[in-house]
Amino acid sequence: MSERVVPTLWAGVLAVLMLGPALGPGFVLTYDMVWVSDLALTRDVLGLGSGLPRAVPSDAVVAVLDEIVPGLVLQKIVLVGALVLAGAGAAEVVRDRSLTARLAVVSLTVWSPYVAERLWMGHWPMLLAYAAVPWLVVAGRRWAAGERGPVWMLPVLLAGSLSASAGIVAGAVLLATGLRRGRRPVLLLAAVVAVNAPWLVSGLTHASEAASATGFDVFALRGDALPAPLAALSLAGIWNTSVVPASREGWAAWAALLLVMALAVAGLRRWWASDGQRVAILALWVAGLAVALAGWAVPEALDALARDVPGLALLRDSSRLLPLCLPLLVVTVAAGVDTLTERLRTTAPRWAAAIVLALTPVAVLTDAAWGLAGGIGTADYPPAWHHARGALGEETAPGDVLVLPWSAYRAPSWNGGRPVLDPLPRMLTRASIVNGDLVIGSTVIPGEDLRTATVFDELSNTDVTGQVTNLRQLGIGYVITDRSAGDAPRIAGEIVYEGGDLLVQRLPERDHRTPAAKAGPAVIGAWVAYGLAWIGATTSTVLLLISMVRRQTAKVRG
Q: Is residue 495 part of a domain?
A: yes
Point out the domain boundary residue: 288, 310, 342: 342
- Residue 321 is classified by DSSP as G
Number of domains into which the chain is organized: 2
Backbone angles phi, psi at 479, to 5 degrees: -130, 130
Same domain, 404 and 325: no
Q: Parallel, antiparallel, or unpaired for β 438-440 and 432-433?
A: unpaired
Q: What crossing angle do the helices spanning 278-297 and 326-341 adopt, rounded to 10°?
A: 120
pTM: 0.96
Which residues touch 122 (CB under 8 Å, ≥6 apart)? 28, 29, 30, 31, 32, 33, 34, 420, 421
503 SS3 class: strand
472 SS3 class: helix
Report whether 324 contacts 287 (CB < 8 A): yes
CA–CA separation, 7 and 378 (whole Å) = 28
- Nearest one of 78, 123, 79, 130 to 109, comparing CA atoms: 130
User: 301-315, pLDDT tens digit by residue?
Assistant: 988 887 777 667 777
Report whether 508 contacts 472 (CB < 8 A): yes
Same domain, 399 and 485: yes
Same domain, 415 and 314: no
CA-CA distances (angstroms) from residue 24 to 38, 59, 127, 167?
Answer: 19, 23, 20, 30
Q: Is residue 315 part of a domain?
A: yes
Q: Is residue 184 part of a domain?
A: no
Same domain, 286 and 401: no
Q: Is residue 196 part of a domain?
A: no
The whole-number pLDDT of residue 67 equals 96
The whole-number pLDDT of residue 446 equals 78
Residue span of the structural domain in which 318 resides: 213-342
User: Does residue 271 have a pLDDT over 70?
Assistant: yes
Q: Is residue 224 part of a domain?
A: yes
Point out the domain boundary residue: 506, 531, 548: 506
Same domain, 328 and 441: no
Can you spell out the DSSP letters for 40-63?
Answer: ---TTTTT-SSS--TTTTHHHHHH
Same domain, 224 and 336: yes
User: 462-515, pLDDT tens digit by residue?
Assistant: 777 888 889 999 999 999 999 999 999 889 899 999 999 999 999 988 777 777
Point out the domain boundary residue: 471, 489, 506: 506
The whole-number pLDDT of residue 166 equals 98
Same domain, 447 and 335: no
CA–CA separation, 162 and 45 (whole Å) = 12
Report whether 408 contacts 438 (CB < 8 A): yes
Q: Is residue 125 part of a domain?
A: no
Same domain, 226 and 325: yes
Q: Is residue 416 part of a domain?
A: yes
Question: Is the C-alpha dihedral spanning 8, 12, 14, 15 positive or negative?
Answer: positive
